[in-house]
Amino acid sequence: MDKRIVENQALLNEARAGLTAIPKSLPSKWLYDDRGSALFEQITGLPEYYPTRTEIGILTDTASRLARYVPKGGALVELGSGSSLKTRILLDQLPDLGTYLPIDVSASFLQASASDLARSYASITVTPVVADFSDDIDFPVEHGAQPKTAFFPGSTLGNLTADEATALLTRVRQWPGIEAFIIGIDLVKDIRTLINAYDDAAGVTAAFNRNILHRINREAGGTFDPDRFAHEARWSSEHSRIEMHLVSHVAQTVQLAETEIAFRPGESIHTESSHKYTEDTLEKIVRAAGWTVDLFLTDASKAFAVAALRP
Ligand code: AVJ
């Protein structure tokens, strides 16, 4: 048997744990390598994928109201550097902002978007922080006690389980100087619309999902044939979430470095969850973390919401 090269030990360890468990799963963070991030960018422009354009519409229509949640001379702290387009909508309404602090795990991505924004907003200090926002953040000392507002757009909170979301909200609630939290969340709606948003006609989401298998082959010694796995978007009413799966419709065996992984016909790998909220269910997890919903803004069809929270 040939020994395959493993260049990403963390991916191998987590993939092995997920693929030897019942049911099989993979952590969604591994979807986002360079190609995965580029495919996600493409997803945000698809006709079926309503969240991005809907959130941008809400932010554009309500930016001046949201600006009141950001302290003068304070800091806007963004969790995950994301699309600077959404950040710019807020920054345009914040002439007296002191600092913009984007937090991201990818140093290169962070550097690029930070210098981009610094060029556009000369009066704002841009201080990128390389960190995983799921951990405790070590703010640069000069920003430790600075009054600050956290910004978490994109419904990224929806990737977390209710327990994980509560933990994140609790951690941000404990940041020194925290005055408000502005979050974007996707809302429960008819199941067809939800499924189509995660199973587009052009097949971009399918390619995004299968990319995780290409990545495992490349970085963790996998022998997956991604074409032998079907992309599937499922609605779980129990968890109020869309799940992405990769389904093996045949019996097959795949090698993962030294480990053999067997698939039964119809067996799936759960690769990502996207939780959908209502005003009530959001209120519930927000309160559990010690916040109150001060403002709940939606578009006309109530597809997406931007909420402003107070500690
Ligand atoms: C980036 C996590 C917000 O869940 O809607 C889009 C990711 N996955 N299509 C989402 C995603 C498939 C997206 N988030």
Q: What is the chain's Cα-based Rg?
A: 20
136-145, 184-193, 209-218: the lowest-pLDDT one: 136-145
Kindly list the distances between the CA atom of residue 209 and the CA atoms of 18, 65, 66, 231, 257, in Å, as whole numbers in the listed order.
Answer: 16, 37, 34, 7, 21
Calculate mean pLDDT across residues 15-22: 98
Q: How far is the CA of 42 from the centre of ligand 1 (A)?
A: 11
DSSP 3-state of 247: strand
- 263-306 confidence digits (pLDDT tens): 999 999 999 999 999 999 999 999 999 999 999 999 999 999 99
pLDDT tens column, 25-55:
999 999 999 899 899 999 999 999 999 999 9
Question: Could you tell me which residues are beta bridge partners of residue 298?
Answer: 305
Q: Give CA separation, 299 vs 27, 61, 87, 302, in Å.
A: 31, 9, 19, 5
How many CB atoms are located within 10 Å of the residue 209 CB?
Answer: 28
Site to substitute for ligand 1 among 28, 55, 86, 159, most atoms within 8 A of C-beta: 159
**Cα gap 136→159, rounded to integer Å:** 19
ipTM surpasses 0.95? yes
Most ligand 1 atoms within 8 A of CB, residue of 211, 274, 276, 277 to mutate: 274
Please state, as a whole number, how many other Cβ atoms lie within 10 Å of the Cβ of residue 175: 17
pTM of the model: 0.95
**pLDDT tens-place string over residues 73-119:** 999 999 987 667 899 999 999 999 999 999 988 888 788 888 889 99
